[in-house]
Amino acid sequence: MRFRRGRLSEQVEDRRGQAIGGRSLGIGAILLALVAAYFGVDPRAVLGLLGDDGPASTAPPADDSRAQFVSMVLADTEDTWHALFLKAGLDYQDPHLVLYQGATHTGCGLGRAALGPFYCPLDRKVYIDLGFYDELKSRYGAPGDFAQAYVIAHEVGHHVQNLLGISEKVRTAQERTDPVSANRLSVLLELQADCLAGVWAHHADRARQVLEQGDLEEGLRAASALGDDRLQRQSQGYAVPESFTHGSSAERMRWFQRGIQGGDPNACDTFTQAG
């Protein structure tokens, strides 16, 4: 990808190196938290623990090429989605992206690297432990910078869904249906995020010529490598479609490619359109 001198995002928080749960609390702070709880206030907010890891987050260092690349990809998604939202008469609000190691506090609870990259709709932040990229290459066989960019663009796709109210509609629908149907709705939400990642790639390349030869294959390889059927066969020897969370390899590749080819967010309606 041609991101060697791209714009850096101002929305990256670097929490790497920050300890989790390492602060000591005085008796006064504990009593204050108890009083807050009595009056219905979340005591974590009083103690400064609600979605916070202590010291103020900082931007990644300039000599950290991997973190700088993530920042450039995030910046490019900002440029793309601002333009697409503006065209639709909407206002795009940038998500934050948090770099962390091992575990970190989020608006959705404690985030752990073992879960892989994820988006929290409650604090509108993308979370990623960059060690995942090593796994993407060595464990899943999907190396390359565009494969890494695809991962970020997928999580930003969830942010787009959140801003458009799609995520909330899906959660409401899940509460009104059976577990199997609710799980399928989750899969369709993930596949839509894949398609939206493709939409970003389409417009980023059209406006800024960021893709190089072989990039598309890298992205499709990553989408395939992270398909539920492939992951389940690797871990247990067989696939259970009813338990899929993100979709099969074929589904993920198909929707990602659909977004890249057309660049139309309206073509990413996984809930009503055939894959």
What are the structural domain ranges in the chain?
A: 12-17+56-268, 19-52
Query: What's the pLDDT at 49?
Result: 47
Query: What's the pLDDT at 63?
Result: 82
The structure's pTM equals 0.85
Query: What's the pLDDT at 37?
Result: 53
Query: What's the pLDDT at 50?
Result: 45
Query: What's the pLDDT at 32?
Result: 57
Query: What's the pLDDT at 238?
Result: 83
Determine phi and psi for 63, rounding to 5 degrees: -95, 10
Name the stretches of the chain with pLDDT < 50: 21-25, 29, 44, 46-56
Query: What's the pLDDT at 245?
Result: 85
Query: What's the pLDDT at 40?
Result: 55
Any long-range contacts for 114-117 (C-beta under 8 Å, 24+ apart)? 117/151, 117/152, 117/154, 117/155
Question: How many percent of the chain have pLDDT more than 70?
Answer: 84
Query: What's the pLDDT at 22?
Result: 41
DSSP symbols for the chain: ---TTPPPPS-EEE-TTPPSS-----HHHHHHHHHHHHTT--HHHHHT-TT--SSPPBPPPTT-HHHHHHHHHHHHHHHHHHHHHHHTT----PPEEEE-SSEEEETTEEEEGGG-SEEETTTTEEEE-THHHHHHHHTT---SHHHHHHHHHHHHHHHHHHHTTHHHHHHHHHHTS-HHHHHHHHHHHHHHHHHHHHHHHHHHHHHH----TTHHHHHHHHHHHT-HHHHHHHHHSS--GGG-SS--HHHHHHHHHHHHHH--GGGG-TTTS--
